[in-house]
Amino acid sequence: MSRLGKLLCCALLASTPALLAACGSSGSAGPGGSQDSITLYSGQHEQTTALLVSAFERQTGIKVNVRSADEATLGNQILQEQANSPADVFYAENTPVLELLRERGLLAPVDSATLAAIPARYDSAQGDWVGVSARVSVLVYNKSKVGTAKLPTSILELASPQWAGKVGFAPSETDFQPLLSAIEKLDGRAAAERWLKALKGSATIYPDNETVVTQVNNGQSTIGPINQYYWYRLRAEQGAAGTHSALQYFAPGDAGDLVDVSGAAVLKSSSHQTSAQRFLAFLVSANGQQVLAHSHSFEYPLRQGVAPAAGLRPLSQIKSNTLTPAELGDGRVPLELEQRLGLL
């Protein structure tokens, strides 16, 4: 089952408990141990998580037992484990899975001082998870195949006939689901379905965004929607001579011009609430945000006053649409749409 398929299965559990067995699980992490240790379920990038965990352990003396997997798998496992979950903290790459767990009543309120460290628009509206970092949805394009003057300014243009056979995208990525949610919210469900159906028939489908950016850079596809950090990583790996692509930002307010948030939460079932809350506080502290900014993940730290990695356009200069994580929701609608169209 794909990553998004697993998350769809989770979302449907609220109305169809019988699907629980079908979602499957890849085992459980070990218990957190004493109050001086916690168990972290992390759907974030492993290198970034390892740096954050190491810095937190040095600062606090609290041991962090990490279980890394994609966020859909971990969200599904928490839904299965319920109050018996050994996890104390869940760190997710995108907010829909956090919203799903919040709706199911599985998250504890985040300490108010932790929430106050991050602008409120990036946090849970109910205070049950905190935003940690952000990425921006952009268009990657091959510079030898198309000039900037001819690039689409709206995400919806990718489905137009002039781009048939030239677009590459990764619909099974969890990063794709908030983008589809934004289209559904701003342009309507019918427009989102038409757009996705047209892309399915005219674009090249890749397994993940790493492949999208690589194949656009190689010239196999001309353009593709990604989060900006994939391109910055490719440039860091390939160097200037090997980078044949560039980024184009969608028009301000367009559904494609989306700031996508990574967040973290303490599970209500955690028996190490104090230490778990300290980990969340560290993630959004000046120290934790500096670790993130220099981790080569090329994500945006969300704490004001902490600069992102060199070369990134400042987040304050990106006039994105105004959709909040709460408005993007738990992702149920776009996931069901992808399943119905056979993209999962």
Q: What is the CATH number of the domain that holds 185?
A: 3.40.190.10
pLDDT value of residue 258: 93
| Over residues 43-53, mean pLDDT | 95
Q: 167 in a domain, yes or no?
A: yes
Rounded to an integer, what distance in angstroms lies between the CA atom of residue 230 and that of residue 175?
11
Q: 318 in a domain, yes or no?
A: no
Task: Please state which of the ranges 16-20, 55-59, 192-196, 250-254 shows the lowest mean pLDDT.
Answer: 16-20
pLDDT value of residue 16: 34
pTM: 0.87
Which of these three, 213, 237, 258, is where a domain ends? 258
Pair (245, 150) in one structural domain = yes
| Over residues 98-115, mean pLDDT | 97
Rounded to an integer, what distance in angstroms lies between the CA atom of residue 153 and that of residue 146?
14
Pair (81, 161) in one structural domain = no
pLDDT value of residue 314: 86
pLDDT value of residue 234: 96
Is residue 255 over pLDDT 60?
yes
Pair (46, 17) in one structural domain = yes
Q: 321 in a domain, yes or no?
A: no
For 20, 123, 249, the CA distances from 14, given in Å and listed in that order, are: 10, 23, 37
Pair (299, 271) in one structural domain = yes
Q: 185 in a domain, yes or no?
A: yes
pLDDT value of residue 180: 94
Task: Please state which of the ranges 28-42, 79-93, 232-246, 273-287 shows the lowest mean pLDDT.
Answer: 28-42
Number of domains in the chain: 2
Give the domain extent around 243.
135-258
Is residue 43 over pLDDT 50?
yes
For 217, 247, 285, the CA distances from 298, given in Å and listed in that order, are: 18, 14, 18
Is residue 344 very low, low, confident or very high in pLDDT (cuts 50, 70, 90)? Answer: confident
Residues 158/193/169/1 CA torsion (nearest 10 deg): 180
CB atoms within 10 A of CB 165: 10
pLDDT tens, position by position, 273-327: 999 999 999 999 999 999 999 998 999 999 999 999 988 988 888 877 788 898 9
Using DSSP, state whether 113 is helix, strand or coil. helix
Is residue 92 very low, low, confident or very high in pLDDT (cuts 50, 70, 90)? Answer: very high
Task: Please state which of the ranges 6-10, 140-144, 153-157, 293-297 shows the lowest mean pLDDT.
Answer: 6-10
| Over residues 2-9, mean pLDDT | 44
pLDDT tens, position by position, 257-278: 999 999 999 999 999 999 999 9
Pair (55, 203) in one structural domain = no
pLDDT value of residue 145: 97
Q: What percent of the chain lies above the pLDDT cut of 90?
A: 79
Residue 248: phi and psi, rounded to 5, are -125, 130
CB atoms within 10 A of CB 120: 12
Q: 337 in a domain, yes or no?
A: no
Is residue 24 over pLDDT 60?
no
Pair (52, 117) in one structural domain = yes
Is residue 333 very low, low, confident or very high in pLDDT (cuts 50, 70, 90)? Answer: confident
Residues 62/63/69/74 CA torsion (nearest 10 deg): -60
Nearest CA among 55, 43, 51 for reference residue 98: 43
